[in-house]
Chain A
């Protein structure tokens, strides 16, 4: 049979379906718990909004443990990634106070910060006699929870410390005598070599995702930054169509020649499937995928993948950071209880459990923890990547900008536009978005 569907892809799609069906039921459940909460507002109860996925699962498990420890009842509202943002923002915007704690993907944070929807955490820390969060948190992760970025007051603590990594097939690299890529030129050479020589089992040199929106932008940013591109100048004007930006996109298109056909519509699922099936040799990807490579049920390349920091070009390689944060909405009626849970869940002890459940931590001590390093040999590379990572531009309009930028990147990769045209049009569109204001 020529048709083989990776189990993995099917599972993903099944999950997707499941969530679409259960979404409405969840919503109903949420309404009911909301009513119930009003009826007995004095008893200790918290409502937590989480994403459905490995990150949310860990926090759900932690919430169950917390319940048995303290007797505080925690209601959990679970939403698929695509819906979590809109549910949270609608609720916070309407000041209903339905949630006491929310999980946030870090690119969403500026919108919540700008809307003044979150509770500042410093006063609670001061009550405990602390000046701020402890120094064990990775600085780049902690900076995400401040608004304005890095310098402002603290509104959220980082829970899951994802940042991009470079994945490659060490067996193929050894076979063709290639060294671990430190620059994007190395990557291109390796992609060429592997695709030309590895012909018995057709293996693509590289696999990227260039579906419009988040996918294309996430895979492009590390190349863009390495080539010296910047999305905005110091005055906040978009500068994606500088010579550096155009050169970076040209390089992406060059690399696309060694990516499987149709990559202009790939999302994380397709990239994961190609790597797990052994049909592509390199990729930028997120740490959440690492554990699947050692599971023979999912992976045909067990023990043959290596993970390292991102390659550079004019500038040293920098990964995009993508952390999950936890925050307390301003309208929560149980801020103190929520804060106690937040501190407990992000403590080293609890975060270690979350790490064992598959989520990279945001604490330096855990990246060095011998037990965890034995389980996840890529931790040293992950810490290096996380500490040198960059956030996506911190603007409340990021969703809109990313959408527009992603459309033009995807158009360039599908051959509809040249690199120059795509970048010029993207720049004009981003400028329009900024002029419109938030």
Chain B
């Protein structure tokens, strides 16, 4: 009896250890590739450059509070994210509703709509830089063809239009993503609630408001969450299109962090700014996720 009991406990021990063993490589990779660098960047953010060498402490975070470039860049990031998110969502939802119906050439439309998203952002940046060129670009060229005076339409060169231009490019590229997620969501909605609504005599608007929208909510929240995280750290298109200019008109927080780290070689300050961005992204994500969970329970 004791013998068999021993072997039983050994088996159970193995059974409890085995899952950890399987998970261990993944944990190790995670530790090595993300936790360690994260902790290391905390130590970097606590080292400030001063005229007497490196000082440990919160100097970098104190400097943040008086750096107006930082606040302007942060403001640009939020304007950019909010404007692009609203446009992408409304356009994406409209397109998804439209292409969820039986349309001729529906497959072709769906495929074409996805092209912008397939292109690397750098390529998109270069294409739009050519299109938006005030003197040689296709957009002003076409407008001139219609007899419109394009003297004032300098797009990425004008402090008023620059941010608008880069937002438009983002909308052009990423609306298809929102469209794709929402279309998938729409197709997952069963037919029965619509039939019930039809029998109850609801108007098309009521059907949309009280059937489609609530059932689409999970897809909407996923699309918004992913886009928000991407928008807050936008870098490549703006880097190619304007490099943050004219002046500081399109400088976002990622560009400013990049410049601080790799042009000015102030990694401590760049790390401090990254943490602020990380914290803000986290707060926004948590708000979204809470909202999502809350709705699912209800």
B157 within 8 A of A: yes
CA distance A396 to B45 in the complex (A): 22
Most buried by B among A262, A400, A408, A410: A262
B160 to chain A, nearest CB (A): 9
| Interface-located stretch among B5-13, B75-83, B137-145, B195-203 | B137-145
Encode contact with A along B120-162: 1 for CB under 8 Å, 0 otherwise. Answer: 0011001001100111111001101100000110111111001
The majority secondary structure among interface residues of chain A is helix
B48 to chain A, nearest CB (A): 9
Encode contact with B along A403-437: 1 for CB under 8 Å, 0 otherwise. Answer: 10001101101111100000000000000000111
CA distance A155 to B157 in the complex (A): 40
* Chain A residues, Cβ within 8 Å of B158: 262, 264, 414
A145 within 8 A of B: no
A227 within 8 A of B: no
B3 within 8 A of A: no
CA distance A2 to B139 in the complex (A): 10
Most buried by A among B52, B159, B247, B264: B247
CA distance A212 to B69 in the complex (A): 14
Encode contact with B along A1-32: 1 for CB under 8 Å, 0 otherwise. Answer: 11111100110010011001000000000000
Q: Which of B136, B162, B242, B245 contacts A6 (CB 8 A)?
A: B136
Q: Are A261 and B130 in contact (CB under 8 A)?
A: no
* Chain B residues, Cβ within 8 Å of A260: 134-135
Q: Are B50 and A436 in contact (CB under 8 A)?
A: yes
Most buried by A among B52, B134, B142: B134
A89 within 8 A of B: yes
Q: Are B262 and A86 in contact (CB under 8 A)?
A: yes
Most buried by A among B141, B259, B263: B263
The A/B interface has a contact count, at CB < 8 Å, of 130
Q: Which of B130, B154, B156, B246 contacts A410 (CB 8 A)?
A: B246
Most buried by B among A16, A210, A407: A407
B265 within 8 A of A: yes
B217 within 8 A of A: no
B62 to chain A, nearest CB (A): 12
Q: Are A89 and B265 in contact (CB under 8 A)?
A: yes
Q: Are B264 and A399 in contact (CB under 8 A)?
A: yes
Encode contact with B along A183-223: 1 for CB under 8 Å, 0 otherwise. Answer: 00000000000000000000000000011110000000000
Q: Are B247 and A212 in contact (CB under 8 A)?
A: yes
Q: Are B157 and A407 in contact (CB under 8 A)?
A: no
A112 to chain B, nearest CB (A): 11
Known interface pairs A261-B151, A262-B134; A407-B51 also in contact (CB < 8 Å): no
CA distance A413 to B157 in the complex (A): 10
* Chain B residues, Cβ within 8 Å of A318: none
A382 within 8 A of B: no
* Chain B residues, Cβ within 8 Å of A270: 133, 135
Encode contact with A along B204-225: 1 for CB under 8 Å, 0 otherwise. Answer: 0000000000000000000000
B129 to chain A, nearest CB (A): 7
* Chain A residues, Cβ within 8 Å of B110: none
A337 within 8 A of B: no
A146 within 8 A of B: no
Encode contact with A along B233-277: 1 for CB under 8 Å, 0 otherwise. Answer: 000000010111111110000000001001111100000000000
Query: A228-258: which residues lie under 8 A (CB-CB) from chain B?
Result: none
* Chain B residues, Cβ within 8 Å of A411: 159, 246-248
Q: Are B264 and A437 in contact (CB under 8 A)?
A: no
Known interface pairs A9-B136, A17-B126, A212-B243; A2-B259 also in contact (CB < 8 Å): no
Q: Are B264 and A1 in contact (CB under 8 A)?
A: no
Q: Which of A3, A93, A397, A410 contacts B136 (CB 8 A)?
A: A3
Encode contact with A along B271-293: 1 for CB under 8 Å, 0 otherwise. Answer: 00000000000000000000000
* Chain B residues, Cβ within 8 Å of A89: 265
CA distance A212 to B162 in the complex (A): 13
A263 within 8 A of B: yes
Q: Are A273 and B136 in contact (CB under 8 A)?
A: yes
Q: Which residue of B lies closest to A86 (CB)?
A: B262
B interface, size bucket: 35 or more
Q: Are B263 and A399 in contact (CB under 8 A)?
A: yes
* Chain A residues, Cβ within 8 Å of B134: 260-262
* Chain B residues, Cβ within 8 Å of A20: 122
Q: Are A211 and B50 in contact (CB under 8 A)?
A: no
B59 to chain A, nearest CB (A): 10
* Chain B residues, Cβ within 8 Å of A17: 122-123, 126
Q: Are B159 and A10 in contact (CB under 8 A)?
A: no
Q: Which residue of A lies closest to B239 (CB)?
A: A82
A279 within 8 A of B: yes
Q: Are B247 and A416 in contact (CB under 8 A)?
A: yes
A96 within 8 A of B: no
A313 within 8 A of B: no
Q: Which of A2, A265, A413 contacts B144 (CB 8 A)?
A: A2
* Chain B residues, Cβ within 8 Å of A279: 135
Q: Are B159 and A416 in contact (CB under 8 A)?
A: yes
CA distance A270 to B157 in the complex (A): 12
Q: Are B152 and A414 in contact (CB under 8 A)?
A: no
Encode contact with B along A92-126: 1 for CB under 8 Å, 0 otherwise. Answer: 01000000000000000001000000000000000
Known interface pairs A89-B265, A279-B135, A414-B158; A264-B130 also in contact (CB < 8 Å): no
CA distance A414 to B49 in the complex (A): 33
Q: Which residue of B lies closest to A429 (CB)?
A: B69
Q: Are B247 and A407 in contact (CB under 8 A)?
A: yes
* Chain B residues, Cβ within 8 Å of A266: 157
* Chain A residues, Cβ within 8 Å of B157: 261-266, 414
* Chain A residues, Cβ within 8 Å of B240: 16
* Chain A residues, Cβ within 8 Å of B247: 212, 264, 407-408, 410-411, 414, 416-417
A438 within 8 A of B: yes
Q: Which of A2, A86, A213, A400 contacts B141 (CB 8 A)?
A: A2
Q: Which of B129, B159, B259 contacts A403 (CB 8 A)?
A: B259
Q: Which residue of A lies closest to B266 (CB)?
A: A400
Q: Are B263 and A86 in contact (CB under 8 A)?
A: yes
* Chain B residues, Cβ within 8 Å of A435: 51
CA distance A414 to B242 in the complex (A): 14
Q: Are A403 and B135 in contact (CB under 8 A)?
A: no
Please list 12 pairs of residues, one from A and one from B, whose beta carbons are closer than 8 Å in the complex, sorted by A's number.
A4-B136, A211-B243, A211-B245, A212-B244, A279-B135, A400-B266, A403-B259, A411-B247, A416-B159, A417-B247, A436-B51, A438-B51
A17-B123, A417-B247 known, 13 other contacts, Cβ within 8 Å = A5-B138, A10-B130, A210-B246, A212-B246, A262-B134, A262-B154, A262-B157, A264-B247, A265-B157, A265-B242, A270-B133, A410-B246, A414-B249
Q: Which 9 A-B pairs have the closest CB atoms?
A: A437-B51, A3-B141, A262-B157, A265-B157, A411-B247, A262-B154, A262-B134, A212-B245, A2-B141
